[in-house]
A and B are shown apart, each in its own frame.
Chain A
Amino acid sequence: MKQSIRIASGQGFWGDLQSAPVDQVRNGPIDYMMLDYLAEVTMSILQKQKMRDPKLGYAKDIVPLFANILPDIVSNDIRVITNGGGANPMACRDAIFAVADKLGIKKLKIGVVLGDDILDRLDPLSKQGIGFENMETKVALSSIRSQVISANVYFGAAPIVEALKQGAQIVITGRTTDTGLTLAPMMYEFGWQADDWNKLAAGTVAGHILECGGQASGGNFSAGWRSVPDMAHIGFPIAEAHPDGRVIITKHNKTGGRVSTATVKEQLVYEIGNPKEYITPDCIADFTSIRLKDAGINRVEVSEVRGFPATDTYKVSMSYFDGYTAFGTLTYAWPDALEKASKADEILRIRLSDLGGNYEEIRTEFLGYNSCFGPLSQHSESMNEVVLRVGVRSRDQNAVEQFSSSIAPLILTGPPTATGFAGGRPKPREVIAYWPALIPKSAVAPQVVVEAR
């Protein structure tokens, strides 16, 4: 057994810094790299792409990325784990095989995790008595069933471990938890069992630290952001994992950013609920047990994590069509910038009312004044400029189009000094909303396919 492995974070979301995974592979030694591409609504976008073209539906950034780094990965024997397969992991695999072929790389072994997509099985599963009620609102699925676009089960680390056992150098999954991407190589390398709850929790905590990329290594850091070195070349975090569950969070030398107890703490409290019950398919981690220790420059030790048995359900993430939306913005200049923007909003609402469209919601915010602080905002007469931002949401596409065509006229038929309309009419877009639910683990099974070409 190896005494430690280095797992690098390469992407924190789809659209993250493109140079980060390249730097992780080239700037120092790593054994694994995890690439997280999936946010809550990403699956719906990918599902729609797959409907239009059965060869699409995965994070397309992966193709140019692998064209760039595949030779390094192969020659340095780095294993890459990603959920960027999205709604179409097989197509993603084939695209990477095609890249390998072009580069003359032979016998590349790629593993794919399938079975998370339950869109076609929703009705039979419902008939079996699985309610899929919304975890947050407790509303029954039947209220939006006809509008569902995608339905995916969040698998954990287990199927990835299976793919690694079968020798996959690259593992591509669909909807897998972000934390599972980091936990899996630890389970595989150190032989952790599915009921080693403390160790699984330790790997899960490491996964939580890695899953947002640079946010653990000095990005979006509120305790002294000015002092973070060379943010332009920020080094993404690396977890040095040990068989006993101890993990050192660090980054490559000669990269920017910073890893300190403070940067790691900020990431640990990011998007958590009850810290005693951080629930994943693999275990329940107790974030109040985590011990952080300064372990040198850009090194933080994470230890003593406690874990508890996993629940008997998986989370399901569904997306559904929920009407149309559009946003319009106009900038107003001193004097009386806020007063003029408010008047423009009033005029806009009268005109929309005259046109007779129905809106679920019309929201007005004044950027530079109150979009972050709401009622706590303090107005200053000397305000140089303010951006009027109006958003609408409606079941009726026509109503949203009426809104879109009512913004520009305000420039010449409203209060003075409106500008910043270079982008043309705001484009109505579909609202794809998110529906979280639960499913018994016994109702679904992940499948693992490993193949060499």
Chain B
Amino acid sequence: MKIQLVQIAHARSGDKGDTGNVGVIALRSIYYPILVKYLTVERVKQHFSGICLGDVERYELPNLEALNFLLHKSLGGGGTRSLKNDAQGKTLSSVMLRMEIEISESIKL
């Protein structure tokens, strides 16, 4: 089935220099394994192509049922140098949650 990430997760994003961070948190415990399985570095990098111009790093926080992504070179230079309206990466969380993923599991939303 095809789902949009916003149906199974919530998220918050911010900045450190030119790197954006997006924390993605499962809305229910049963969704966390789906995040782990489908939100791969490759999938996230592909989703953010044209926004994230550097590497993507992924970290797991099973205790919070969350993943943390670092999106390098995503903020137009970052901080005060950036000419972006969203120089602090506050809306990278929205970009993330808009992702559509095709999952083989059948889950009740």
A392 B68 Cβ-Cβ under 8 A: no
| A residues in contact with B95, CB < 8 Å | 372-374, 376
* Bound complex: CA A365 to CA B63 (Å): 39
Q: Does A411 contact B (CB under 8 A)?
A: no
B5 to A: closest C-beta gap in Å: 11
Main secondary structure, interface of A, reads mixed
Contact with A along B2-41 (1 / 0, CB 8 A): 0000000011101111110101110100000000000000
Contact residues on B (Cβ < 8 Å of other chain), bracket? 35 or more
Binary per-residue interface labels of chain B (43-78) against chain A in the complex, 1 for a CB within 8 Å, 0 otherwise: 000010111000001011111111010100000111
Closest partner residue, chain A, to B14 (CB atom): A271
Q: Kindly identify which residue among A269, A289, A365, A433 contacts B68, using a CB–CB cutoff of 8 Å.
A: A269
**CB under 8 Å from chain B, chain A span 101-127:** none
* Chain A residues with CB below 8 A from B19, complex form: 136
Name A363's contact: one of B61, B65, B83 (CB within 8 Å): B83
Check if A275 sits within 8 Å of B21, measured CB to CB: no
Shortest CB-to-CB span from B1 to chain A, Å, is 22
Let me know if B14 and A270 touch, CB within 8 A. yes
Determine if A288 is an interface residue (Cβ-Cβ < 8 Å). Answer: yes
Measured CB to CB, the nearest residue on chain B to A268 is B64
Task: Give bound CA distance, A262 to B27, whole Å.
Answer: 8
A288/B62 in contact, CB under 8 A: yes
Q: Out of B25, B63, B76, name the residue touching A290 (CB < 8 Å).
A: B63
Q: Once A and B bind, how many residue pairs between them come within 8 Å at the CB atom?
A: 127
Contact A288 B91, beta carbon cutoff 8 Å: no
B residues in contact with A325, CB < 8 Å:
83
Asked if A272 and B79 sit within 8 Å, CB to CB, the answer is: no
Residue of A nearest to B6 (CB): A222
Residue pair A392, B83 in contact (C-beta under 8 Å): yes
Q: Which residues of B contact A393 (CB under 8 A)?
A: 81, 83
Asked if A77 is an interface residue, CB under 8 A from chain B, the answer is no
With known contacts A41-B80, A269-B25, A290–B64 Cβ distance under 8 A: yes
Q: Which residues of A contact B66 (CB under 8 A)?
A: 265, 268-269
A288 to B60, CA, bound (A): 8
A97 at the interface (CB under 8 A from B): no
Residues of A within 8 A of B59 (CB): 274-276
Distance in Å: Cβ of A23 to nearest Cβ of chain B:
24
- Min Cβ gap B84→A in Å is 7
Contacts of A223 in B (CB 8 A): 10, 25, 27
Contact of A309 with B by CB under 8 A: no
Partner of B98, one of A287, A288, A327, A373: A373
A265 CA to B95 CA, complexed, in Å: 19
Nearest-CB residue, chain B, relative to A289: B63
Taking CB atoms, residues of chain B closer than 8 Å to A322 are 80-81
A103 to chain B, nearest CB (A): 38
Closest A residue, CB atoms, query B67: A269
| Given A273-B70, A374-B50; A220-B12 close (CB under 8 Å) | yes
Q: How far is it, in angstroms, between the C-alpha of A275 and the C-alpha of B24 when the chains are bound?
A: 13
Q: How far is the CA of A287 from the CA of B68 in the complex (A)?
A: 11
| Chain B residues near A271 (CB-CB < 8 A) | 14-16, 21
**Contact surface of B with A, Cβ cutoff 8 Å:** 10-12, 14-19, 21, 23-25, 27, 47, 49-51, 57, 59-66, 68, 70, 76-81, 83-86, 91, 93-95, 97-98
User: Which A residues form the contact surface with B (CB < 8 A)?
Assistant: 40-41, 136, 220, 222-223, 262, 265-276, 287-292, 322, 325, 327, 361-363, 365, 367, 371-376, 389, 391-393, 431-434, 436
CB pairs A–B below 8 angstroms (22 shown): A222-B12, A222-B93, A222-B97, A223-B25, A262-B10, A265-B23, A265-B25, A265-B65, A268-B66, A269-B12, A269-B21, A275-B59, A288-B61, A292-B63, A371-B85, A371-B86, A372-B86, A376-B47, A391-B83, A391-B84, A431-B80, A434-B80
